[in-house]
């Protein structure tokens, strides 16, 4: 048994998480809250801030990890994972620790929750003792990932007590007089300043940059830095970054000028797809002493969307907040719940102050993301109307989980909508800041080649629209915002930065088989442009087979003129050089035809290209397409070679391991 159980002594519990969208961080913080209620001493930390070499010194560790893309760990986990895979680590390296793993994934992907599964096996290999079997949360479950989380956590606390005795004289839960779990202390302390103070007194409001876009970015960056440094609700002394991934917005991105924003689907088509062209190294960049940022085919362009100003005004009004009030955000005392009221405090040169409006704009997704369950739990403590309090308390329980999922996640209700539904709730800003989902950056595959379009980056953006089960119309925050931008109405600049994608263009001598239905064609437009540009310079390039898919030839045949031009003469899609272009129109006939059907039809040509050393790249929707395409390749190989199924599967696994079968898919 671990721990002595003496009065007042609490066992430390380390909770490590790796997240891409914030779900794993949310689960980790819930584990931390419940651990404190069970009288553990929790330390919650992102994996990118933790040195894996220190693991053998820990006693109890809970890991919460997401699986991204087609089975990759989040970026914040990759260095940690490489450390665990070192061959020098023995089978007894972690024999002193108790551990538990909870994975978050989506069973719609081929490699469901593979990160959590691999981590669990590796920890066992290194001698760790699993407290409970690994838990797996599935976004596809009718109740979301919490359907797996609730029973797993209940089992975890029971199992841990068999190893770590409860300190004498304490009970495992801390109910209030009504029998409900009391509200945890907030992790932030907010100090309010008189908004009428002259700007000359605001030491943090330094000389303003020359352009509005830079000024806004700097102010938003200061807000993010202040809140991130305020930190961790569980007393970790390490530098804390609430961005959670460790790969958040840079201090100074590229300020790209919008050149073109045109619809490339027909006006009568129900899907609005945009072709966007951005100029890099703009006049703003030159003023800042930067010459722009280079990218290569396969890279990702990332940006933070701008929230609707009317929605921000509505949120501030609903919450009784003056957006022009300046505040500081600091770490609260973890032992005492202190809610600072608005006071008239003088500014000092040591303080970093930002307006409430800036914090909401920069950090808080108030009109796009659905709040998490803890938001409803906190709201229940501030509800004045009894019927609202009862409903919120019910939503906060495992028994109310399914009803909450139907009300909240399935309808994609926003924070603003939930606050309007529960009108008697007035949350202090400390709690809003802690529980409102963070505004997430969005990433897009770049659809241009820097050789073909120097100092530019092109995007292919589908405007996201859908109808909820209760027939409510929804639009994606970022895609709708991008679609609304009009360079004809004046200069428009976007702060952007570049990251590596899952796919990258191999050597020009490697033949390519590309499968990219819909906007999945974006990275392959970049690939083909790059090879044509190299060919025009006199370099030898290998041919390309490209399988594209859309619904209607007349409505959403994206970049039709490009594919046609690049299929002629000596271009890489031309039959004359060994390439080809195939398109599947799924709705132009009674029987639906998809890219996988075209692959099967062209089986002989596909296998010849594979046998010549081709690399296969698949991009597009993560729903069923990647699995269907893989099955098509399996069918082609089996039919053309006569190999048994196990040999075909092994062949494709080998290609994947060698980086010659790569999938980049998104929900």
189 marked as binding residue: no
Q: How far apart are CA 209 and CA 189, in angstroms?
A: 30
412 marked as binding residue: yes
Q: How far apart are CA 521 and CA 584, in angstroms?
A: 13
Q: How far apart are CA 91 and CA 99, in angstroms?
A: 15
Token pair listed for 248: 């958040």
Q: Is 13 helix (H, G, I), strand (E, B) or coil?
A: strand
116 marked as binding residue: no
CB 34 within 8 A of CB 79: no
CB 483 within 8 A of CB 461: yes
Q: How far apart are CA 512 and CA 547, in angstroms?
A: 11
490 marked as binding residue: no
At 238 the pLDDT is 45
CB 366 within 8 A of CB 307: yes
CB 505 within 8 A of CB 527: yes
Q: What residues contact residue 449 under an 8 Å CB cut-off, 6+ apart?
A: 297, 526, 527, 529, 530, 533
569 marked as binding residue: no
110 marked as binding residue: no
CATH fold of 504-666 = Rossmann fold (3.40.50)
At 207 the pLDDT is 43
414 marked as binding residue: no
- CA geometry: angle 154, 156, 160, nearest 5 deg: 130
User: Can you name the residues that pair with 254 across neighbouring β-strands?
Assistant: 496
At 284 the pLDDT is 52
H/E stretch holding 514 reads strand 512-515
355 marked as binding residue: no
- CA geometry: angle 572, 533, 298, nearest 5 deg: 80
Query: CA torsion, points 252, 254, 260, 261, in degrees to nearest 10?
Result: -40
Q: How far apart are CA 458 and CA 288, in angstroms?
A: 23
Spacing of C-alpha 375 from chain mean position: 20
Query: CA torsion, points 121, 126, 129, 134, in degrees to nearest 10?
Result: -20
CATH fold of 12-160 = Rossmann fold (3.40.50)
Kind of pairing between the strands at 615-621 and 661-666: parallel
Q: How far apart are CA 655 and CA 667, in angstroms?
A: 24
66 marked as binding residue: yes
Beta strands in 144-245 (DSSP E): 188-193
Long-range contacts for 120-124 (Cβ within 8 Å, ≥24 apart)?
Answer: 122/84, 122/85, 123/63, 123/84, 123/94, 123/99
445 marked as binding residue: yes
H/E stretch holding 466 reads strand 465-467
444 marked as binding residue: yes
645 marked as binding residue: no
Q: Is 99 helix (H, G, I), strand (E, B) or coil?
A: strand
402 marked as binding residue: no
At 237 the pLDDT is 40
Q: How far apart are CA 72 and CA 114, in angstroms?
A: 8
Q: Is 139 helix (H, G, I), strand (E, B) or coil?
A: coil
**Sign of the CA dihedral running 414, 417, 419, 422:** negative
19 marked as binding residue: yes
Q: Comparing C-alpha atoms, which of 62, 34, 22, 102 is closest to residue 396?
A: 34
628 marked as binding residue: yes
Provide φ and ψ at 51, rounded to 5°.
-85, 115
595 marked as binding residue: yes
256 marked as binding residue: no
* Domains 12-160 and 504-666 equal at CATH topology level: yes
442 marked as binding residue: yes
245 marked as binding residue: no
Taking each helix axis from N to C end, the angle separating 373-380 and 23-37, rounded to the nearest 10 degrees, works out to 40
184 marked as binding residue: no
User: Can you name the residues that pair with 192 across neighbouring β-strands?
Assistant: 327
At 209 the pLDDT is 39
Domain map (residue ranges) of the chain: 12-160, 504-666
592 marked as binding residue: yes
At 8 the pLDDT is 55
Region at 588 (left for phi over 0; alpha for psi -120 to 50; beta for the rest):
alpha
Q: Is 648 helix (H, G, I), strand (E, B) or coil?
A: helix
**What is the largest distance, in Å, between two alpha-carbon atoms of the chain?**
84
At 72 the pLDDT is 83
323 marked as binding residue: no
H/E stretch holding 215 reads helix 212-230
Q: How far apart are CA 432 and CA 430, in angstroms?
A: 6
Kind of pairing between the strands at 254-263 and 493-499: antiparallel
Kind of pairing between the strands at 300-303 and 493-499: antiparallel
Task: Decide: residue 603, CB within 10 A, 0-12 exposed, 13-18 middle, 19+ buried.
Answer: middle
The series of mean pLDDT values per 10 residues for the chain, 667 residues long, is: 54 93 90 91 93 96 89 89 94 96 87 93 97 93 88 95 83 53 85 62 43 85 90 50 60 92 97 97 50 80 94 97 94 49 43 90 94 94 97 92 92 96 97 94 95 96 92 92 94 92 92 97 98 96 98 97 96 97 96 97 97 96 89 97 96 94 87
**Sign of the CA dihedral running 311, 317, 319, 322:** positive
621 marked as binding residue: no
549 marked as binding residue: no
């Amino acid at each position: 048994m671990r721990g002595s159980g003496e009065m007042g002594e609490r066992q430390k519990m380390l909770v490590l998480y790796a997240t891409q969208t914030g779900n794993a961080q949310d689960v980790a913080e819930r584990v931390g809250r419940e651990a404190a209620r069970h009288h553990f001493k929790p330390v919650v930390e992102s994996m990118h801030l933790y040195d894996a070499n220190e693991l053998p010194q820990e006693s109890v560790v809970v890991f919460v990890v997401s699986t991204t893309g087609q089975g990759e760990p989040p970026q914040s986990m990759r260095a940690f994972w490489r450390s665990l895979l070192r061959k020098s680590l023995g089978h007894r390296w972690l024999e002193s620790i108790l551990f538990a793993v909870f994975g978050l994934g989506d069973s719609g992907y081929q490699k469901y929750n593979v990160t959590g599964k691999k981590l669990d096996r590796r920890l066992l290999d290194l001698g760790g003792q699993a407290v409970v079997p690994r838990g797996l949360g599935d976004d596809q479950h009718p109740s979301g990932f919490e359907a797996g989380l609730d029973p797993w956590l209940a089992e975890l606390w029971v199992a841990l007590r068999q190893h770590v005795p409860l300190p004498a004289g304490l009970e495992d839960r801390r109910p209030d007089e009504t029998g409900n779990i009391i509200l945890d202390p907030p992790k932030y302390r907010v100090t309010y300043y008189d908004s009428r103070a002259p700007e000359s007194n605001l030491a943090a409001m330094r000389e303003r940059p020359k352009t509005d876009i830079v000024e806004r970015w700097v102010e938003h960056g200061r807000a993010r830095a202040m809140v991130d440094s305020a930190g961790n609700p569980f007393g970790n002394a390490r530098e804390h970054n609430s961005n959670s991934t460790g790969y958040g917005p840079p201090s100074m991105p590229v300020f790209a000028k919008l050149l073109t924003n045109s619809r490339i689907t027909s006006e009568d088509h129900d899907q609005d797809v945009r072709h966007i062209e951005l100029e890099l190294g703009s006049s703003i960049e030159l003023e800042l002493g930067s010459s722009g940022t280079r990218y290569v085919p396969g890279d990702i362009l990332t940006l933070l969307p701008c929230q609707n100003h009317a929605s921000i005004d509505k949120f501030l009004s609903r919450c009784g907040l003056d957006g022009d009030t300046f505040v500081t955000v600091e770490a609260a005392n973890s032992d005492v719940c202190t809610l600072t009221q608005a006071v008239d405090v003088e500014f000092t040169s040591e303080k970093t102050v930002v307006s409430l409006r800036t914090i909401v704009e920069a950090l808080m997704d108030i009109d796009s993301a659905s709040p998490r369950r803890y938001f409803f739990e906190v709201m229940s403590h501030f509800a004045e109307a009894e019927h609202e309090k009862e409903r919120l308390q019910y939503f906060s329980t495992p028994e109310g989980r399914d009803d909450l999922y139907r009300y909240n996640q399935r309808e994609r209700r926003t924070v603003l909508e939930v606050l309007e539904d529960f009108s008697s709730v007035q949350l202090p800003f400390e709690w809003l800041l802690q529980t409102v989902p963070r505004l997430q950056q969005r990433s897009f595959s770049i659809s241009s080649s820097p050789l073909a379009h120097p100092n530019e980056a092109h995007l292919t953006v589908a405007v996201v629209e859908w109808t909820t089960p209760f027939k409510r119309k929804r639009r994606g925050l970022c895609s709708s915002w991008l679609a609304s931008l009009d360079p004809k109405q004046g200069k428009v600049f976007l702060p952007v930065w570049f990251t590596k994608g899952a796919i990258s263009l191999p050597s020009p001598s490697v033949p390519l088989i590309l499968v990219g239905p819909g906007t999945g064609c974006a990275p392959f437009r970049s690939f083909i442009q790059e090879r044509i540009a190299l060919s025009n310079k006199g370099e030898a390039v290998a041919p390309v087979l490209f399988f594209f898919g859309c619904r209607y030839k007349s409505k959403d045949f994206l970049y039709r003129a490009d594919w046609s031009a690049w299929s002629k003469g000596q271009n890489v899609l031309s039959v004359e050089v060994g390439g080809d272009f195939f398109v599947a129109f799924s709705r132009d006939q009674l029987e639906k035809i998809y890219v996988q059907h075209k692959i099967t039809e062209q089986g002989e040509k596909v296998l010849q290209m594979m046998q010549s050393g081709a690399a296969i790249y698949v991009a597009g929707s993560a729903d069923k397409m990647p699995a269907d395409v893989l099955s098509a390749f399996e069918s082609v190989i089996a039919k053309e070679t006569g190999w048994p199924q196990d040999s075909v599967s092994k062949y494709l696994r080998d290609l994947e391991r060698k980086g010659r079968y790569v999938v980049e898919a998104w929900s």
